[in-house]
Structure 1
Amino acid sequence: MGALRGLLAPFQIFNDLILPIGRGIAVACIALMVLCILIQVFFRYVLNNALPWPDEAARFLMLWMTGLIAPSAYRVGGFVAIDMFERALPRTIAAGVSLFLLSVSLLVLVTAVRLGYNHSSGLAWRFTSATLWVPLDWVGGTSFKLKLAWMYASLFVGFVLLTIVNIELILRSLITLAGGGAQLKPLSDVDLAGAE
């Protein structure tokens, strides 16, 4: 069990340090997304002159918000789940069922990481956003359109973080199966809208 705890420690430390940063950036993304949408509503319905960029900017921010907040929600059980069966089982059997489901999830996540990497590299760097410009004229630079690869990178980053969380949860399930679940540090004191 000491070896399992040794394997768990780097994943738990990484998640304890990185996931709060991701949550903070996700909160900023959702605030900016709402601002973009309000700008679009004002220009479209008050001034009768729709802007071309707020829709795409809101989509960009939504993708990054999702990629950065999903790992925190996954870690504390914040995804929608039917867990009546697992809760009705004895603790050891429930940990075995959880381990099986986490292992299947790991296979899916590893495939998603590979696909996310392929999608955000290579050809994605050739294509630019239709409306999102990075304005550098005001500092003496040259403005340029944002590469779509930056949008697709949210998939890659989100799935990498989800995979790291999944590995931590697998190790925690193995420790629980070995009888050491009582000594595990609680995952988080973060309240994600009452997720339990």
Structure 2
Amino acid sequence: MMGILTIFAGFNSVVLRITRQLAWIALALMVVVILLQVVFRYVFNSALPWPDEAARFLMLWMTGLIAPSAYRWGGFVAIDMIPQMMPTRVAQILMLVLTLAATAVLCVAISFGWNHTFGFGGNFDSSSLRIPLDWVGGESIKVKLRYMYGAFFLGLVMLLVINIELILRQIILFFDPDAELPDDGSADFLAETGQIEAAGGAARID
């Protein structure tokens, strides 16, 4: 089981490192789009038709790309008072049951995400987002809503993969509390963001 966990952990670390970078880009673009709309609306008194929907589009993708990393590191809002009051073994069983329940919820949510992205609703066009091809002599193409719903679907799939990793970690720790588990990538993230500095193999908190 440790070998399977190592594979999942390594795969998730690589994928989430990429999705975090894409999430920062989506956030930066969202800020630019919003500021552009503010300038045109209040400086030039001529609001653009597309920035509001473009900002929502980027916000959805930012959320879908960053949520798996937050889930992996326990960054979601949680009520952990009850597990902390329980004996260690009982708390571990409770957390495993809750994680298994989350797996069922995610599987149902993924089916909804698939239907929204590739089903009937995804065929509709965005009300304002277009790919401008006029400058090359072509005709502008409206963006399909499936490219917006895709953030929901992809985010849920990644959450499910992370959930499997968390289940494996909990099972291993239940039977071997002293087991050395694979790195979850949190130290790399803190080093990237300057919150810790790795020196001589040790992490130092700034």
Separation in structure 1 between the aligned mates of residue 77 and residue 122 of structure 2, nearest angstrom: 34
2:167 — aligned with what?
170
Cα-to-partner distance string for 1:31-51 (whole Å, 9 max, x where unaligned): 000111101111111111111
Cα-to-partner distance string for 1:102-138 (whole Å, 9 max, x where unaligned): 0111110010111100110121342111111112344
User: 2:48 matched to 1:63?
Assistant: no
Secondary structure of the structure 2 residue equivalent to 1:48? coil
Separation in structure 2 between the aligned mates of residue 85 and residue 56 of structure 1, nearest angstrom: 41
User: 2:110 matched to 1:113?
Assistant: yes
- Tell me, yes or no, if the aligned pair for 1:30 and 1:62 is still in contact at 8 Å: yes
Separation in structure 1 between the aligned mates of residue 87 and residue 19 of structure 2, nearest angstrom: 35
Secondary structure of the structure 2 residue equivalent to 1:182? coil
User: 2:95 matched to 1:103?
Assistant: no
Q: Which runs of 5+ in 1 are unaligned?
A: none
| Number of residue pairs the alignment of both structures matches | 190
- Tell me, yes or no, if the aligned pair for 1:172 and 1:181 is still in contact at 8 Å: no
Q: TM-score, normalised by structure 1?
A: 0.90
Secondary structure of the structure 2 residue equivalent to 1:71? helix
1:14 — aligned with what?
11
Highest RCO, 1 vs 2 (Cα 8 Å, sep ≥ 6): 1
Matches within 5 A, 1:80-95: 80-95=77-92
Secondary structure of the structure 2 residue equivalent to 1:130? strand
Secondary structure of the structure 1 residue equivalent to 2:130? strand
- Compute the displacement of 1:141 (Å): 5.0
- Compute the displacement of 1:58 (Å): 0.2
- Compute the displacement of 1:89 (Å): 3.4
Secondary structure of the structure 2 residue equivalent to 1:183? coil
Cα-to-partner distance string for 1:38-79 (whole Å, 9 max, x where unaligned): 011111111111111000000000000000000000000000
Which structure shows the bigger proportion of residues in helix conformation? 1
Separation in structure 1 between the aligned mates of residue 33 and residue 142 of structure 2, nearest angstrom: 18
1:147 — aligned with what?
144
Q: Which runs of 5+ in 2 are unaligned?
A: 196-206
Cα-to-partner distance string for 1:130-155 (whole Å, 9 max, x where unaligned): 11111234456543111110000111
Separation in structure 1 between the aligned mates of residue 3 and residue 124 of structure 2, nearest angstrom: 44
Letter paired with 2:102: S
Deviates more, 1:110-119 or 1:90-99: 90-99
- Compute the displacement of 1:85 (Å): 2.4
Select the residue among 142, 154, 178 that pairs with 1:157: 154
Change (3 A) 1:153 1:91: same
Separation in structure 1 between the aligned mates of residue 72 and residue 38 of structure 2, nearest angstrom: 36
